[in-house]
């Protein structure tokens, strides 16, 4: 949400109507990736700090430098901050901007996947390993080979296969990789190198990971989202096309790819028959929240489904100071997800 519009919001009324209150209030947290490990919920968010950077469309004001892991016994229990799990100073290849992470478990080890800008100013994706879901995590010396952009989300499918979904346009730099290498022209422009409005929209990427979860096992592929006529969504279809914040969950044998539309502030989803897609656009999961950005995860706990998300209500609309929340998510009898209004009958001003 543009910062100039926050004066139009009555935050007391909004918070009274909100479906959920912030899970953690002593620090600002965002981009929650939630998982159930050993019967307990672990949330891997980014950690918002006020670094004094000016607001811009490249996300320079999102200057996060470490990760905390939040744990909960259930979606309604108290959330616990387990302290710093990984700091940028402990990542040899990374310089700054530890943005939205994710995690996975395999054979008793826990893997934290995270984007960061290297010393060359280019986003890559790294991985760190721990014997505990709350860390501390030890980062690999180098970023994942051939990785790029932001917002890794790792999905474990049946058969012990792990897939990473990633990518984000504008400040996430995905558009600069359209030709297979990083385009350095017009470096200060967040929208340079995007497709034209009547061209197919840029896609998130999907790649299967190696057995040790430390590298890509193949070249990343496009996550193709189709419209009702089985044509790719267009760049100008800003209320439906992919922007950032990939997530994957599986329900009744179908694969649900969900994502943020970024500058139009929706969490949308599309359904496919396999982890690679293509995926058919199916609707909206979450209407706009206060704070411009929208980023989420979806997890099942004891037979119920939950949406983890964030907003900026605690910071009274400050875009880069967000707080993670949770609410129930419902699949209807046909497998479609019921759209969630985060503030009941109130709407966020965007």
Its sign, for the CA torsion 85, 89, 92, 96, is positive
Q: Is 208 helix (H, G, I), strand (E, B) or coil?
A: strand
DSSP state of 136: -
- Read off the tokens for 24: 């953690």
CA 253 to chain CA centroid, nearest Å: 23
Distances (CA, A) of 298 to 48, 96, 251: 21, 28, 11
User: Which positions are catalytic?
Assistant: 31, 244
Distance of alpha carbon 26 from alpha carbon 279, whole angstroms: 39
* Backbone phi and psi for residue 63, each to the nearest 5 degrees, phi listed first: -105, 40
Q: What angle do CA 94, 100, 103 make, to 5 degrees?
A: 90
Is 268:297 a contact under the CB 8 Å cutoff? Answer: no
Distances (CA, A) of 275 to 35, 61, 278: 18, 34, 9
Is 154:110 a contact under the CB 8 Å cutoff? Answer: no
Buried b (16+ CB within 10 A) or exposed e, 239-264: ebbbbbbbbbbeeeeebbbbbbbbbb
């Amino acid at each position: 949400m543009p910062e100039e519009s926050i004066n139009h919001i009555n935050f007391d009324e909004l918070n009274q109507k909100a479906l959920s209150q912030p899970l953690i209030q002593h620090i600002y947290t965002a981009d929650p990736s939630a998982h159930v490990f050993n019967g307990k919920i672990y949330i891997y968010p980014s950690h918002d700090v006020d670094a004094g950077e000016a607001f811009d469309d490249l996300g320079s004001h999102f200057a996060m430098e470490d990760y905390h892991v939040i744990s909960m016994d259930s979606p309604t229990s108290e959330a616990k901050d387990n302290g710093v799990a990984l700091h940028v100073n402990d990542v040899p290849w990374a310089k700054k901007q530890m943005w939205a992470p994710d995690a996975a478990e395999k054979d008793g080890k826990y893997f934290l996947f995270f984007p960061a800008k290297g010393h060359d100013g280019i986003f890559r994706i790294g991985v760190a390993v721990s014997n505990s879901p709350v860390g501390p995590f030890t980062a690999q010396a180098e970023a994942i080979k051939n990785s790029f952009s932001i917002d890794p989300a790792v999905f474990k499918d049946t058969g012990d296969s792990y897939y990473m979904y990633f990518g984000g346009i504008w400040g996430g730099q995905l558009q600069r990789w359209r030709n297979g290498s990083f385009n350095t022209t017009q470096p200060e422009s967040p929208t340079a190198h995007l497709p034209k409005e009547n061209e197919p929209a840029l896609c998130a990427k999907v790649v299967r990971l190696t057995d040790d979860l430390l590298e890509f096992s193949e070249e990343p592929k496009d996550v193709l989202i189709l419209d009702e006529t089985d044509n790719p969504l267009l760049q100008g279809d800003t209320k439906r096309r992919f922007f950032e914040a990939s997530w994957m969950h599986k329900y009744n044998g179908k694969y649900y790819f969900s994502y943020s539309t970024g500058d139009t502030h929706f969490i949308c989803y599309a359904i496919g028959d396999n982890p690679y897609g293509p995926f058919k656009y199916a609707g909206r999961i979450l209407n706009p929240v206060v704070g411009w950005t929208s980023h989420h995860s979806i997890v099942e706990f004891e037979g119920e489904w939950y949406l983890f998300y964030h907003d900026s209500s605690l910071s009274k609309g400050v875009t880069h100071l967000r707080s993670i929340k949770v609410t129930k998510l419902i699949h209807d009898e046909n497998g479609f997800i019921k759209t969630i209004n985060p503030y009941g009958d109130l709407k966020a001003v965007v």
